Amino acid sequence: MAVLIKGGTVVNADGRQRADVLCDEGIIKSIAPSIDTGANIEVIDAGGQFVLPGGIDPHTHMQLPFMGTVATEDFYTGTAAGLAGGTTMIIDFVIPDPNQNLMDAYRQWRSWAEKSAADYSFHVAVTWWDETVHADMGTLVREEGINSFKHFMAYKNAIMATDEIMYNSFRRALELGAIVTAHAENGELVFQLQKELLAKGITGPEGHPLSRPPSVEGEAANRVIQFADVIGVPVYLVHVSTKDALDHIKRAQANGGRVFGEVLAGHLMIDDSVYQNLDWKFAAAHVMSPPFRPKGHQDALWQGLQSGALQTTATDHCCFCYEQKAAGKDDFTLIPNGTAGVEDRMAVLWTHGVRTGRLTIEEFVAATSTNAAKIFNIHPRKGAIREGADGDIVIWDPEATRTISKKTHHQNIDFNIFEGMEVTGNPSHTLSHGVICYDKGELRAQKGKGQYIKRPAFHSMFEALDRKADLTKVQPVKR
Ligand code: URQ
Ligand code: ZN
Ligand code: ZN
């Protein structure tokens, strides 16, 4: 059944127009000032609303095995919740255990994701190194459409990538035309600070931010930027949470570095006072890494988004319910790290970005969809209202209001970090491949309808790179 979206204002990252949009056979067939309806065409009245590219959340962890448990949100419920909030694609993570074969881990995650209700792709984490990792990275890029490799600089004795692993992986990524991404916190500092805090008897959630102060992120952000610069590979910093890291990103970008930054909706809105809450459950529910930060960092992050230093917004959607968080009742280092957000990201960004004048609607589209599509090389198939693009569309009602709550959200978690927030600006309809999946409060997500999206390598970007580490040009001094 074709779908005709009539009377709306189409907004892309580069501009807007009053236009009708016809979707059929999974793609956007035509965009024109007026398109006539006809037989077998379902019409949506988008009068007074905006017709936007479906949101892309470049950072989620559906059903992640982590810290001795498994995230409660799976690929079906998580992508369905995303559709309710206007997000039509996620980029999740394959995270091999150290010494686990990358291809085995990749196949595991692919099997988990088959139940998805919306499109998905994966960043693959490099958590260890040997020649099989080198080979598997090649297979993943050349045969599986992976073009981004993740490095956790935190989580020592678990999935932390040492400098040696990062060096080998970054060199390989450069060879393959892939981008590297990083969770930038110094894992050794976190490990040592955690031990010191526990030794002082600080066992509650208030210890979590104390073990990961802003400078722990700043150090790692600078290190990973310098690593990438020496090796000559583009780098994307996930969940940038501090002015410390943002300043390093800005400096590198000013020097021509190909450095990208992502910010979470939560880090834009929530500060570290949550960890002082006397309700253990409330404080523990906010334990994620990097932690929510002291007041002041949030404004710096908004400024980074407005200036373009930070290009994308995400959620790091990684759900652990109270009984899972309770594992850390007597030791905050055992609280599974993670919070939710995939359903609320876009409404939070609209309410506190567009309605406050921080972002234009075009900038909102860039930050919630288009920039992620461009950085991860799937634009304009994704992230654009353009003829021939996938029919991933969110019809945005700028006046629709709701109050965010765990009582009403579709996310499979017993807590919401935005609990009680009134958001103005919400989807009236979400379409995935031209099929209406969310219709004025009715979620019509279909298990298994989501498609795995291959993302090609970036050779064009690499051809332009000055390969500073290319030693073939260096000649020995003849003494
Ligand atoms: O660090 C991450 O991004 C994963 C393990 C989710 N947990 C979190 O606290 N951010
Ligand atoms: Zn992370
Ligand atoms: Zn994450």
Domains located in the chain, CATH noted = 55-383 (3.20.20.140)
Residue 60 CA to ligand 1 centre (angstroms): 9
Other CB atoms within a 10 A radius of the CB of residue 467 amount to: 13
**pLDDT the model gives residue 469:** 47
Residue 216 CA to ligand 1 centre (angstroms): 15
Strands 55-57 and 15-18: unpaired
Return the amino acid letter for 287. Answer: V
**pLDDT the model gives residue 459:** 73
With a CB cutoff of 8 Å and minimum separation 6, the contacts of 177 are 141, 147, 457, 458, 459, 461, 462
Instruction: Give the model confidence (pLDDT) of 435-477 as tens digits.
Output: 999 999 999 999 999 999 999 999 755 554 544 445 567 788 9
Residue 64 CA to ligand 3 centre (angstroms): 10
Residue 152 CA to ligand 2 centre (angstroms): 7
Q: Which bound ligand lies closest to the C-alpha atom of 266?
A: 1
**pLDDT the model gives residue 470:** 57
Q: Which among 29, 14, 383 has a CA at the least distance from the CA of 5?
A: 29
Q: Which bound ligand lies closest to the C-alpha atom of 151?
A: 2
Other CB atoms within a 10 A radius of the CB of residue 242 amount to: 27
Q: Which bound ligand lies closest to the C-alpha atom of 159?
A: 1
Q: Which bound ligand lies closest to the C-alpha atom of 417?
A: 1
Q: Whose CA is nearest to atom 3 of ligand 1?
A: 316
Q: What is the Cα–Cα distance from 91 to 239, expressed in whole angstroms?
A: 14
Residue 263 CA to ligand 2 centre (angstroms): 11
Which of the listed residues 151, 153, 183, 217 should we mutate to test ligand 1's pocket, taking the one with most ligand atoms within 8 A of CB?
183
Which of the listed residues 62, 337, 339 should we mutate to test ligand 1's pocket, taking the one with most ligand atoms within 8 A of CB?
337
Q: Which residues pair with 263 in a beta bridge?
A: 313
Residue 38 CA to ligand 2 centre (angstroms): 49
**pLDDT the model gives residue 284:** 98
Which of the listed residues 59, 63, 123, 318 should we mutate to test ligand 1's pocket, taking the one with most ligand atoms within 8 A of CB?
318
**First-last CA distance in the chain:** 77
Q: Whose CA is nearest to atom 9 of ligand 1?
A: 288
With a CB cutoff of 8 Å and minimum separation 6, the contacts of 367 are 305, 311, 312, 313, 349, 353, 359
Residue 388 CA to ligand 1 centre (angstroms): 35
Q: Which residues pair with 59 in a beta bridge?
A: none
**pLDDT the model gives residue 463:** 53
Which of the listed residues 289, 335, 415 should we mutate to test ligand 1's pocket, taking the one with most ligand atoms within 8 A of CB?
289
Strands 65-66 and 442-443: unpaired
> What are the helix (H) ranges across 366-454?
371-375
Nearest-atom number in ligand 1 for the CA of 287 is 9
Which DSSP symbol is given to 381? T
Strands 179-183 and 148-152: parallel
Q: What is the Cα–Cα distance from 462 to 448, expressed in whole angstroms?
A: 35
Q: Whose CA is nearest to atom 1 of ligand 1?
A: 289
**pLDDT the model gives residue 468:** 46
Cβ atoms of residues 242 and 218 within 8 Å: yes
DSSP string, 48-101: TSEEEEPEEES-B-TT-EETTEE-S--HHHHHHHHHHTTEEEEEEEE-PPTT--
**pLDDT the model gives residue 472:** 64
2-6 sheet: strands from edge to edge: 27-32, 20-24, 2-6, 41-45
Q: What is the Cα–Cα distance from 119 to 114, expressed in whole angstroms?
A: 10
Residue 24 CA to ligand 3 centre (angstroms): 35
Q: Which bound ligand lies closest to the C-alpha atom of 59?
A: 3
Which DSSP symbol is given to 350? I
Residue 318 CA to ligand 1 centre (angstroms): 7
Instruction: Give the model confidence (pLDDT) of 189-245 as tens digits.
Output: 999 999 999 999 999 999 999 999 999 999 999 999 999 999 999 999 999 999 999
Q: Tokens standing for 256?
A: 């021509």
Q: What is the Cα–Cα distance from 171 to 167, expressed in whole angstroms?
A: 6
Q: Whose CA is nearest to atom 6 of ligand 1?
A: 338
With a CB cutoff of 8 Å and minimum separation 6, the contacts of 477 are none
Q: Tokens standing for 279?
A: 């309700």
State how far the alpha carbon of 162 is from the alpha carbons of 73, 123, 227, 370, in Å.
30, 18, 12, 32
Is the whole model's pTM more than 0.75, yes or no?
yes
Residue 143 CA to ligand 3 centre (angstroms): 25
Which of the listed residues 91, 93, 211, 288 should we mutate to test ligand 1's pocket, taking the one with most ligand atoms within 8 A of CB?
288
Cis peptide before 380 (omega within 30 of 0): yes
- Ligand 1 pocket, Cβ-based, cut-off 6 angstroms: 61, 66, 183, 288-289, 316, 318, 337-338
Cβ atoms of residues 391 and 52 within 8 Å: no
Residue 127 CA to ligand 2 centre (angstroms): 13
Q: Which bound ligand lies closest to the C-alpha atom of 66?
A: 1
Q: Whose CA is nearest to atom 7 of ligand 1?
A: 338
Q: Whose CA is nearest to atom 2 of ligand 1?
A: 289
Q: Report, as ranges of residue numbers, the positions in the chain whose pLDDT lies below 50.
A: 464, 466-469
Residue 122 CA to ligand 3 centre (angstroms): 12
